[in-house]
Amino acid sequence: MNIMDIIEKGLAAKEPLLEAEALALLQVQPDSREAFYLRWAGLCKSRALSGGKAEIHAQIGLDSGPCPKVCQFCAFASVNNDPNAPKKPEASLEEVLAYAEGYAEAGANAILLLSTEAYDFDTFLEMGVRVRERIGFGTPLLANTGDLTPAKAEALRNAGFAGLYHALRLGEGEVTDIRQETRLSTMEAARMAGLPLSTCLEPIGPEHSAEAIYAIAAQMLALKPITAGVGRRVAVPGVEASRNGVLSQPQNAVYAAAYRLIDHRSRLTASAHSELMANSGANIAWSEVGSNPRDRESKTESGKGRSIEFIRNLFTEAGWELLSGPSPGWAG
Ligand code: SF4
């Protein structure tokens, strides 16, 4: 199998890549000649599918758990926290509204409310309603919360949410206390409720094989998400999975470009952690405030969270134009 031919086939996007072809792309060595060609092709295809535009979505974290779902990679998981430590306070309504207003004024293309499984669902709905009242309907509001029944997905839609971020994580059911079927049925509930999907192959670490990555990619492609792509695991002190190490940026960039060539339809490919990723096809990045499962700071804007301005500069330096206005394709 000639890698250059597979890259050309993925770039042309006329027919789906075979599983063996997708696996070959995911196994390209990051420092090889093929890797640079693959990343160039990923960039070209992202530009073609997005009209040359990158987007910045803004995440507001509402709580820090401790979450009973014990995902080994998550700073909120009870397994990664001292059971005797005092519970971190949840974001107040006024804090959330101020964050949302700031993001709307700064030009975020979408805003996303994030909570753990432990967060009260009615409060989550209330936060959505109040954010909508404060900033109007000009910016799509997405939810990233626990698993959903059809009734809960419907309630999110009725509260003014326009989409759902949800992922079937690498090692779901083994390094998490959630069955794969539960994650997939949440995505189905969202689809039935008219909530388009934002997703990502995450959190990828050095221990994950191309086969494991492809198995989830194939399932996500079938769901026709608006945003997809890859996200490497972030090392957080005291978090169990951090012991397995972190992907290098070039390896992550190979995965981003490979995903871009496998996926012929998503407009947005995650996630631009760096100019290298943005130059390999990643054209969406998240700014983060409040709690963050990839940070120990209770307000991630004082830690790992990046501002809209920082990400705008990253994309501009990488040669992308930024979409102005609401991210298209979400529920009205
Ligand atoms: S990833 Fe989500 S479900 Fe898992 S422990 Fe963290 S907050 Fe809970």
Per-residue pLDDT, 262: 98
Assess contact for 257 and 39: CB atoms under 8 A.
yes
Q: Any residues with CB less than 8 A from the CB of 80 and at least 6 apart, and which?
A: 72, 74, 236, 238, 239, 240
Per-residue pLDDT, 45: 98
- Nearest one of 116, 133, 107, 153 to 308, comparing CA atoms: 107
Indicate if ligand 1 lies below 6 Å from the C-beta of 73.
no
Check whether 5 has a pLDDT greater than 80: yes
Please name every residue paired with 144 in a beta bridge, in sequence order, or none if there are none.
114
Helix H or strand E segment including 9: helix 3-12
Q: 214-249 pLDDT, tens per residue? A: 999 999 999 999 999 999 999 999 898 888 999 999
Q: 262-310 pLDDT, tens per residue? A: 999 999 999 999 999 999 999 999 999 999 999 999 999 999 999 999 9
d(CA 245, CA 207): 8
| Closest approach atom of ligand 1 to CA 176 | 4
Per-residue pLDDT, 242: 87
Nearest CA to ligand 1 atom 7: 116
Q: 72-93 pLDDT, tens per residue? A: 999 999 999 988 888 889 999 9
Indicate if ligand 1 lies below 6 Å from the C-beta of 67.
yes
Pocket residue to mutate for ligand 1, from 113, 116, 147, most atoms within 8 A of Cβ: 116
The Å distance, Cα 122 to ligand 1 centre, comes to 18
- Domain count for the chain, please give it: 1
DSSP of 118-172: TS-HHHHHHHHHHHHHHHTTSS-EEEE-S---HHHHHHHHHTT--EEE----TTT
Rounded average pLDDT over 55-73: 95
Residue 314: pLDDT band (50, 70, 90) is very high
Indicate if ligand 1 lies below 6 Å from the C-beta of 74.
yes
The Å distance, Cα 69 to ligand 1 centre, comes to 6
Residue 1: pLDDT band (50, 70, 90) is confident
Query: Which segments within the chain are labelled E, that is strand?
Result: 53-61, 110-114, 141-144, 163-165, 197-198, 201-204, 227-232, 268-270, 284-290, 321-322
* Domain-embedded: residue 1: no
pTM: 0.97
Indicate if ligand 1 lies below 6 Å from the C-beta of 117.
yes
The Å distance, Cα 118 to ligand 1 centre, comes to 9
Per-residue pLDDT, 188: 98
* Domain-embedded: residue 178: yes
Q: Any residues with CB less than 8 A from the CB of 253 and at least 6 apart, and which?
A: 30, 35, 39, 276, 277, 279, 280, 282
The two three-digit tokens of residue 208, written as one number: 């994950």
Domain of residue 305: give its range.
37-315
Nearest CA to ligand 1 atom 3: 69
* Domain-embedded: residue 326: no
Check whether 25 has a pLDDT greater than 80: yes
Pocket residue to mutate for ligand 1, from 62, 63, 67, most atoms within 8 A of Cβ: 67
The Å distance, Cα 257 to ligand 1 centre, comes to 27
**The domain spanning residue 60 has which CATH number?**
3.20.20.70
* Domain-embedded: residue 13: no
d(CA 183, CA 177): 11
d(CA 94, CA 126): 12
* Domain-embedded: residue 28: no
The Å distance, Cα 202 to ligand 1 centre, comes to 13
Per-residue pLDDT, 85: 87
Nearest CA to ligand 1 atom 4: 71
Indicate if ligand 1 lies below 6 Å from the C-beta of 186.
no
Q: 127-146 pLDDT, tens per residue? A: 999 999 999 999 999 999 99
What is the residue-averaged pLDDT of the chain?
Answer: 96
3-state secondary structure (DSSP) of residue 191 = helix
* Domain-embedded: residue 328: no
The Å distance, Cα 169 to ligand 1 centre, comes to 11
* Domain-embedded: residue 20: no
* Domain-embedded: residue 103: yes
d(CA 11, CA 5): 10
d(CA 142, CA 228): 15
Nearest CA to ligand 1 atom 5: 77
